[in-house]
Amino acid sequence: MTSSPEPPQFNLYTTTIPLYLRAMTNLLHQLQKASSHSLSSGTPPSYYLNARLYPDMQGLPYQIQRLTDTAKFTLVRVLGHDPTLLKMEDNESTFPELTARVEKTMALLQGVKEEEMAEVGRAGTKEVVLTRADGFRWETGPYEYVTKFAMPNFWFHVSMAYAILRMCGVPVGKNDFIGTEA
């Protein structure tokens, strides 16, 4: 795979952390709406938590686990943070547990120093290795990792979580997804 040139003004921090935090803040709002909708409609929480957009797709907890993992693993793969410190069990099965997972991930992201991450992006020399259980291995730099994998993967799972809630009748709309702050 050929590497695309890194733009000189690329700032790894501003390309990731604020966007992750905004999306997760909006997701927390959506989860609160889902929990309230469950109570007001008498629909059991399991209805939302087990819902899938299509039979071969995963449900809401999986979507939230993967989007938080993507954000956490940006810190592991780009900054070299110890992956064992970011370990979560992937056993969330309630709205409060999903909310706690998102909040824990947000706290980790809020602890990232902008200059440290921006410097990695400016240097552009750090190797980022992505391996999967199926044996796929991708070696690249921070810019390509963030723009070609981390951000698209993150937004895919954020979108799927929103779509599941919307499909289940939770009164969420575009402003709940993108937020209302300018």
**Is 60 exceeded by the pLDDT of residue 102?**
yes
For residue range 121-173, list pLDDT tens digits in order: 666 667 888 888 898 888 888 888 999 999 999 999 999 999 999 999 999 99
CA distance 103 to 49: 18
Q: Which 3 state secondary structure label does DSSP give 84? A: helix
Residue for token pair 């999986």: 62
Measure the N-to-C terminal CA separation of the chain; round to a whole number of Å: 37
Domains of the chain: 12-178 (1.20.120.450)
**How many CB atoms lie under 10 A from the CB of residue 167?**
12
Instruction: Give the pair of three-digit tokens for residue 134.
Output: 């199926």
